[in-house]
Amino acid sequence: MINREGIASPAGDDLIGLLLDRVSAAVALFDRDMCYVACNDRWIADYKLGDTDIIGRSHYELFPQIKNEWRELHKRALAGESFAKDVDKYIHSNGTVSWIRWDLAPWHDADGGVKGVILLTEDLTDQIEEDLRSRILTEEMSLFIDIAEDMALCMLDDDGRITMWKSGAERMFGWTEAEAVGQSFECMFDAADRGRGLPLRQLKVARDIGSFRDRCWRIRKDGSRFLGEITISYIEGDKLLPSGFGHVVRDVTGEDLHARSLEASTVLLRSILDTVPDAMIVIDDRGIILSFSTTAEDLFGYKREEIIGQNVSVLMPSPDRELHDEYLARYHETGKPHVIGGRRRVLGLRKDGTVFPHTLRVGEATGGGQRMYAGFLHDLTETEAAEARLQELERELTHIARISEMGTLATAMAHELNQPLMAIGNMVQASSELIRGGGDQEVLNLVAGALEDAGHEAMRAGAIVKRLRSFVSRGELDRTIEDPGGLVRDACELVAADAKLRNIQIMIAIAEEAEAILVDRVQVQQVLLNLVRNATQAIVKDGTIAIDVRPDAGRMLFKVADSGPGVPAERISRLFEPFSTTKPEGMGMGLSICQTIVEAHGGKLWYEGDPDGGAAFLFTMPKLKEDEADAN
Ligand code: ADP
C-alpha cells in the first residue's frame, strides 16, 4: 500500500494507524504544509516525541533545527519527486548522532494530485556501529597481523584449533590458510613437546590467568624449529562469539638482545657453577658437549678446551657409551624422558680410563635457538667409600660384640673345658700309677684304654677351643655347605653347661626334609647361640627351649622358642634396635647383630610371641640352589 508513488488511497485514520504500526521503520505522513497527518509509534520513539500531540502540527515547528537541504527535499517531494538514502547521518537536538536509512515520497489523492509527503526512516545506528567496529577491528587486526616480518598471529578456538590464519603466520610457519585453519595448533610443536602435553598446558595457563607468555620452540611446516616469543591471550566468549585464544609469535631466533642477555647469564651461570660442588655438563640435542664446568674438569680429568665439541658419550663406560646417541634420539622422537627429571646412579669414565660412580640429574633447557640438556653430576666415590667404611665398622663392631660376649661365655667355657681336662688328668695319673706298680697284660690293656679315653677328651677340649677361636675371629661371609642340624647342635653345645646349671631342657627337632644350606658357619652359629642364650637368660631357671628346623616356602626356617615370660608388647617394636636391652650387663647388640647376619645371608629374622607367654624367634636361610650344590 505504501510505495514510492505514495499512498494510493488513505482509507480512514484507523486503517492508516493500523498499517503504520505494522511497519518496522518510523513512518510519518505530512500534508502539503508539512504538518503531521499521521505517524506510527516508532516515529514517536525514534524522534523522542514522547506524548506530544503532534497531529496537525508543523514538522518544522517540532524540529526547528532541520537543515535547509531537507526543507528543500520536502519541497521537491511535494512537487512529485521521490528520494531515498541507504545510510545518512541524523543529529538529534541534544547533539547525539543516529545513522538512518530514509525514504521520502509524495502521496496522492484519488485525482493524482499531491496531498503531501510520506517520510520513512529506519534507525541503523546499532547495526552501523557494530559494523563499523568490526570493520575497524578487522582493519586494525590485519594491519597488526602483517605489520612485521617476524610476527605472526592466529586465532584458536577453545580447544586450540586454528580458526584464523593470516599471511604473517603463513610466512612464518609455511602452512597456507587452507591448510592451517581447522587444524590443532599442536602442529606448531615438536613431538617431544606434544608428548609432554606442552600445547594444552600453555592454553591452560592462558585460560587460567588470562595470558601465557614465554620463549619456546615452535615447528615450521618443513619441520625446522625456531625460538618464538609466544603470547597466548584468552578471549572470553559472549552471546555472539565463542571463547578462544589469540596466538602471537615473534621469531626471536636471531635476536641480538636475547643473545646478549644469554651471554650475560652464561657468564653468571659459569661463575655459579664453578663454585658449586656438583659438576655440570651441558650438551646440545645431538649430545655434543657445549659447556663443561670446573668441577667436571676435576672429576673427569679433561680440560674444558679438549672436551667441548666432543660427544658426551666419551665420558661414559660401556654400554651407555654406545647407547647414548640412541637414548637422545628416542627422547626426541617419543618425548618420553629416560633420565630427564630424575636422579640416578650411573658410571663415569675418566680420561685415564678409570670408572667411578656418580649421580646424574638432567634438566632440559632452551637457549640461543637450540634445545640443550644440562647434566648435574655428583661424585659418589667418596660416599661409597664412606659406606664401605661404615660396613667395615659394623663388622668391627660385630667383632667387638663377639669379644664382649666372650666375657660371659668364658665362665661357661671354663666349665666346659674343665671337664675334659680333669678327666685327662685323672686318667693319665691312674695310668702312670698302674704302670709303676708293674703289671701283666691285663694292666697294660687297662692303661691303653685309659690313655685312649684321655686322647678323646683332649680332642674334645681341642674342638671346644677351636670353636671358641673361630667364634671370636672376624668374619667375612665365608660360605660353606652346612647341615642345619649340625649347626644347631654345635651352638647348643656351647650353652649346654649353662643350661644344665639352670635346669633348662633343650629340645632339638630337625625335620627329615631339612636340606643343606650355603652359609657362613660361624656367623649362623652365632645367631643360634645368641637366640638360645637369650632364651636361657629369659627363662632364668627351670624351663624348656625348643629348636625346630624345617623347610618352609622354599627356605629353611629356624625357630627358637622358649618357655620364658616372652617380650612385653611395648618392647617388641624396638627389639632389634641396637642398645635395646633389659639386662644390667647386656649390651643390647645381640639381636641387631643377628639381624645383620641373617639379612647378609638373604634371610629374615623376626619375633613371634606365644599367647601362653613364651617367646619365639624365627629366621630363614635361603636353600641351596642346584648349581651351588654341584659346584661345591
Ligand atoms: P642383650 O641380650 O644384650 O640385652 P639382645 O639384642 O640380644 O641384647 O636382646 C635385647 C633384649 O631383647 C633383651 O634385653 C631382652 O629384653 C629381650 N629378649 C631377647 N630375647 C628374649 C627372649 N627369648 N625372651 C624375652 N625377652 C627377650
Residue-level pLDDT at 384 = 79
In this structure, the residue with its CA closest to atom 7 of ligand 1 is: 590
pLDDT, mean of residues 305-326 = 89
With a cut of 50, say whether residue 632 has pLDDT above it.
no
pLDDT tens figures, 381-392: 887 777 777 677
User: In this predicted structure, what is the pLDDT of residue 630?
Assistant: 47
Centre of ligand 1 from the C-alpha of residue 438, in Å: 59
Task: Kindly state if the Cβ of 538 falls inside 6 Å of ligand 1.
Answer: yes
E strands in 201-354:
211-219, 225-235, 244-251, 279-284, 289-292, 343-349
Is the distance from the beta carbon of residue 545 to the nearest atom of ligand 1 less than 6 Å?
no
Kindly state if the Cβ of 295 falls inside 6 Å of ligand 1: no
**Residue bearing cell 536509512:** 101
pLDDT at 248 over 90: no
89-98, 165-174, 319-328, 348-357: which range is least confident on average? 89-98
Is 527 close to ligand 1, i.e. is its CB under 6 Å away? no
582 lines ligand 1 (CB under 6 A): yes
DSSP strands (E only) in 414-492:
479-482
Query: Among 409-423, 444-458, 508-522, which range has the highest average pLDDT?
Result: 508-522
Q: How confident is the model at residue 578 (pLDDT cuts 50, 70, 90)?
A: low
pLDDT at residue 488 above 70? Answer: yes
3-class SS letters over 531-568? HHHHHHHHHCCCEEEEEEEEEECCEEEEEEEECCCCCC
Question: Is 591 close to ligand 1, i.e. is its CB under 6 Å away?
Answer: yes
Q: Is the CB of 590 under 6 A from ligand 1?
A: yes
Sign for the pseudo-dihedral over CA of 591, 594, 596, 601 = negative
Residue 328: other Cβ atoms inside 10 A: 20
Given a cut of 90, whether residue 263 has pLDDT beyond it is no
Contact assessment for residue 43 and residue 25, using Cβ atoms and an 8 Å cutoff: no
Residue 539: the pLDDT is 94
- Span 279-302, average pLDDT: 87
Q: Is 216 left (phi over 0), alpha (psi -120 to 50) or beta?
A: beta
How many angstroms does the Cα of residue 571 sit away from the middle of ligand 1?
Answer: 10
**Torsion 232-236-241-243 (CA) sign:** positive
Whole-number pLDDT of residue 124: 81
Which of 215-219, 336-340, 491-495, 534-538 is the least confident region? 336-340
Percent of the chain with pLDDT over 70: 78
Residue whose cell numbers read 503531521: 36
Please give the pLDDT value at position 180: 92
pLDDT tens per residue, range 32-52: 999 998 888 888 888 888 877
In the reported structure, the alpha carbon of residue 528 is separated from the centroid of ligand 1 by a whole-number distance in angstroms of: 13
> Mean pLDDT, the chain, as a whole number?
80
Per-residue pLDDT averaged across 241-257, rounded?
75
Answer whether residue 378 shows pLDDT above 60.
Answer: yes
- Which segment of 127-141, 325-339, 588-602 scores lowest on mean pLDDT? 127-141
C-alpha cell at 7: 499512498
Are the C-beta atoms of residues 575 and 607 closer than 8 Å to each other?
A: yes
For ligand 1, atom 19, the nearest C-alpha belongs to 534
Residue 497's pLDDT band, with cuts at 50, 70 and 90, is confident
68 pLDDT higher than 70: yes
Q: Which of 591, 606, 619 to mutate to test the pocket of ligand 1 (most atoms within 8 A of CB)?
A: 591
Say what the pLDDT of residue 265 is.
58
Residue 10's pLDDT band, with cuts at 50, 70 and 90, is very low
CA 581 to ligand 1 centroid distance, Å: 6
Q: Cα of 206 to ligand 1 centre, how many Å?
A: 65
d(CA 157, CA 185): 10
Task: Look at ligand 1, atom 20, and give the residue with the nearest C-alpha.
Answer: 534
Instruction: Return the closest-CA partner of residue 375 out of 421, 337, 408, 411.
Output: 337
Higher pLDDT, 586 or 160: 160
Q: What is the pLDDT of residue 136?
A: 58
User: Which pLDDT band holds residue 255 (cuts at 50, 70, 90)?
Assistant: low
Write down the pLDDT at residue 11: 46
pLDDT on residue 359: 87
pLDDT band at 621 (very low <50, low <70, confident <90, very high): very high
Give me the pLDDT at residue 394, please.
67
Rounded to an integer, what distance in angstroms lies between the CA atom of residue 532 and that of residue 519?
19
Evaluate: CB of 564 within 6 angstroms of ligand 1: yes
Q: Give 180 Cα–ligand 1 centroid separation in angstroms.
A: 78
Where does 482-611 have alpha helices with state H?
484-501, 521-539, 569-572, 590-600
Q: Give the pLDDT mean for 113-123.
A: 89
Quick check: CB of 260 below 6 Å from ligand 1? no
Residues 6+ apart with CB under 8 A from 56: 35, 36
Q: Determine the pLDDT at residue 5.
A: 36
Residue 148 pLDDT > 90, yes or no? no
SS3 100: strand
**What is the per-residue pLDDT for 3?**
34
Residue to mutate, 405, 581, 618, ligand 1, most ligand atoms under 8 Å from C-beta = 581
Mean pLDDT across 178-191: 92
Would the CB of 92 count as within 6 Å of ligand 1?
A: no
Give the residue with greater pLDDT, 91 vs 183.
Answer: 183
Is the pLDDT at 80 greater than 50, yes or no? yes
Q: Which residue has the higher pLDDT, 123 or 276?
A: 123
pLDDT at 461: 77
pLDDT greater than 50 at residue 372: yes
**Distance from the alpha carbon of residue 523 to the mean position of ligand 1, in angstroms:** 18
Instruction: Report the pLDDT averaged over residues 518-537.
Output: 86
Interval between CA 582 and ligand 1 midpoint (Å): 7
Higher pLDDT, 410 or 287: 287
